[in-house]
Structure 1
Amino acid sequence: MMFRWTFEETRLLRPFIPAVEVLAARGTHRKIYDLEKIAANRVPMAAAVYYDDMYVDAGLSLDTAKQVGGLQAWVTNEHEHDGINDPAVLRRLFAMVDEVGGPLAE
């Protein structure tokens, strides 16, 4: 999701303004996600939710996480938005998945 002003203020994005306007003018969009299938997921997953993330609201992230079956959310303020670049974050997420039996667990 990007705001229209982003395309106006960013020189390299300006050529895309006509396409952005066409997409924005559409009254309806096709269904992107099947919420029932997402809720029925059985593959263990883990996600980091950065409590003080400057770009993503932690409350919205947690609301979304609750809708995904098999998802464990690790809420932390030890990292910022780019915490995934810290190898310790990936190790923590992989360990969370391993605790419940890995991606092919029944």
Structure 2
Amino acid sequence: MTARSVAITGAGGFVGSHLARRFQEAGWPVTRLSHSAAGADPKTVAFQLGEAVDPALFAGREVDSLVHCAYDFEPIAPEEIDRVNVGGTRLLFEAARAMGINRIVVTSSISAFSGCRSN
């Protein structure tokens, strides 16, 4: 059986960082994609949700699975939220598909909606 590897968006955040650690503990090679931690760790690749994604982002990394945990809370206007988070996710998935990544998991929470209340 071929070893599996994973790329995780939002790897600088709470959920993404914990998932990255767990995958590593299970022996998976992990590529972290994050806007906040890029440069601090050689295994972290700069990634900005909502921007064009070059499929070369995954080139040479032997990624066969993608876990998408990124969400940008900065946009306020509904059309900007849609462009960055929905459109950005679409761009990410298109790049992943172009590189032959066929396993994708998406995470989300109620916090993705404006006005949500959390404990």
Higher share of residues assigned helix: 1
Scaled by the length of structure 1, the TM-score of the pair is 0.33
| Bigger radius of gyration | 1
Normalised by the length of structure 2, the TM-score is 0.30
**Larger proportion of strand:** 2
